[in-house]
């Protein structure tokens, strides 16, 4: 039977997890801190590790780093009561199989172990830890999936295509991929392909030689060579002309750029791209090259719209208020007002709304009236809709609403709704029964 090491300073939690492991036919072993865990691992025989982050002495991230530095380390999953973008990204970058928020349900725990025990491991990472100042805010299941992807992709040179509606934060994700990777100290060059006229975009990307065309009075190296040894981010790639797409394809294939009127030059650059358009549909309409589509989309990262991330709205709003300064905070009524708005402009619209109110409001506690410029919600918008009562009641309201939205968005397809919510179908069935959702 597989031996699983539970590393946590909370004895009650260790016992609860151990009971679930025994019921599933595993052999649990315990370690109350990082030093004890490493000592037990040194004796061998452990096939998987469940690791807490916040422990006295050596923290979980350092334990993970040391485990992954071993020659044949067992798979490690991080369980933490305080999940953040930084520790999620760092744990996944260091090679954790997953990063879960406590409390972890029995079904989720067993599913995790099913993935861990046959899993292959990845080499230890050596890049420095990311800065503590988080730029990706959000603890929803959808955003945690994105954060995990960033951690796994950061050190790679793989081309990544970031998709999502306008305003969802595609450039933020691109910058995080660069900042958390091995090229972090090198240039990051962003080019908005939709903002530059088609006749100038080629020169912007690839450069030109002096005299290549009228007005070319000096050499220009272009964005690709500016990003040499670093990362280039091609935003709104779906707006690029077909002629320029062919030239970009050659750069992707050969890693050389040819300036207008000049000779080919080799470049060492990681390419990230983003679009709000449906590129697969554009390919079918012959508006985007199929070969370029597959070259760009080696690894796709999809950003969900803010309306599908209710759990992230208030943390984002508070984050933007803190950035604005002034010490302002949201009242319960204002928070309910933000939760009721559909946010068609996504995170960008939310940030603009918060900045507007932070500048115009002269009181410390923001009210629902301060956000009266937002479109009126479809139903009554009082604080009791979401935030009245105790925490379990408020959480239950939010769970039920998200459940109904997911089922409505998937036309009642329970498997799709479960995937959308980031939970297992069995848990979906249990919650549907709990809330009387048909």
Chain centroid to CA 149: how far? Answer: 6
Pick the residue with more confidence: 418 or 353? 353
Domain 3-141 in CATH: superfamily?
Answer: Response regulator (3.40.50.2300)
Q: Mind listing the pLDDT tens digit for each residue in 292-340?
A: 999 998 899 999 999 888 889 998 999 999 988 888 888 888 888 898 8
In this prediction, residue 393 has a pLDDT band, given cuts at 50, 70 and 90, of confident
Res 74 pLDDT > 90: yes
pLDDT of residue 375: 74
Res 133 pLDDT > 90: no
Res 109 pLDDT > 60: yes
What is the fold of 156-302?
Rossmann fold (3.40.50)
pLDDT of residue 107: 81
In this prediction, residue 32 has a pLDDT band, given cuts at 50, 70 and 90, of very high
Res 390 pLDDT > 80: no
- Percent of the chain past pLDDT 90, that is, above it, reads 52
pLDDT of residue 93: 92
Res 260 pLDDT > 90: no
Whether domain 306-435 has CATH 3.30.465.10 = no
Please determine whether the domains at 156-302 and 306-435 fall in the same fold group of CATH. no
Domain boundaries, the chain: 3-141, 156-302, 306-435
The whole-model pTM stands at 0.72
Mean local confidence (pLDDT), 107-120: 75
Res 38 pLDDT > 50: yes
- Percent of the chain past pLDDT 70, that is, above it, reads 91
In this prediction, residue 130 has a pLDDT band, given cuts at 50, 70 and 90, of very low
Res 135 pLDDT > 80: no
């Amino acid at each position: 039977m597989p031996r699983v090491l539970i590393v946590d300073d909370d004895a009650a939690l260790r016992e609860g997890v151990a009971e679930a492991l025994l019921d599933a036919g595993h052999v649990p072993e315990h370690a109350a801190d990082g030093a004890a865990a490493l000592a037990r691992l040194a004796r061998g025989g452990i096939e998987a590790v469940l690791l807490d982050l916040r422990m006295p002495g050596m923290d979980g991230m350092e334990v993970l780093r040391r485990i992954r530095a071993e020659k044949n380390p067992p798979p490690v999953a991080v369980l933490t009561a305080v999940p953040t973008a930084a520790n999620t990204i760092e744990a996944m970058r260091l090679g954790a199989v997953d990063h879960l928020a406590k409390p972890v349900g029995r079904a989720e725990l067993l599913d995790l172990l099913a993935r861990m025990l046959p899993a292959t491991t990845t080499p230890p990472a050596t890049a420095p830890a990311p800065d503590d100042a988080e730029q990706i805010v959000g603890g929803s299941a959808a955003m945690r999936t994105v954060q995990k992807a960033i951690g796994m992709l950061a050190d790679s040179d793989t081309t990544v295509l970031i998709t999502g509606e306008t305003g969802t934060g595609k450039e933020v994700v691109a910058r995080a991929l660069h900042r958390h990777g091995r090229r972090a100290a090198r240039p990051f060059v962003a080019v908005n392909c939709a903002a530059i006229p088609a006749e100038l975009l080629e020169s912007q990307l690839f450069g030109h030689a002096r005299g290549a065309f009228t007005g070319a009075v000096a050499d220009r190296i272009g964005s690709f060579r500016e990003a040499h040894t670093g990362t280039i981010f091609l935003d709104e790639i779906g707006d690029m002309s077909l002629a320029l797409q062919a030239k970009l394809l050659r750069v992707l294939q050969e890693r050389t750029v040819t300036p207008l009127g000049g000779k080919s030059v080799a470049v060492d650059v990681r390419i990230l791209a983003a679009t709000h358009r449906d590129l697969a549909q554009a390919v079918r309409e012959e508006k985007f090259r199929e070969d370029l589509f597959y070259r760009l989309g080696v690894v796709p990262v999809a950003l969900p719209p803010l309306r599908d991330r209710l759990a992230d709205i208030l943390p984002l709003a508070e984050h933007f208020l803190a950035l604005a300064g002034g010490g302002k905070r949201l009242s319960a009524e204002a928070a309910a007002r933000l939760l009721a708005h559909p946010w068609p402009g996504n995170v960008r619209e939310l940030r603009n709304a918060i900045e507007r109110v932070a500048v115009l409001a002269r009181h410390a506690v923001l009210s629902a009236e301060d956000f009266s410029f937002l479109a009126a919600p479809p139903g009554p918008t009082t604080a009791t809709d979401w935030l009245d009562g105790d925490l379990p009641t408020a959480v239950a309201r939010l769970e039920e609403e998200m459940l109904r939205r997911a089922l409505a968005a998937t036309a009642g397809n329970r498997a799709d709704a479960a995937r959308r919510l980031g939970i297992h179908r069995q848990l979906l069935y249990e919650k549907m029964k709990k809330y009387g959702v048909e």
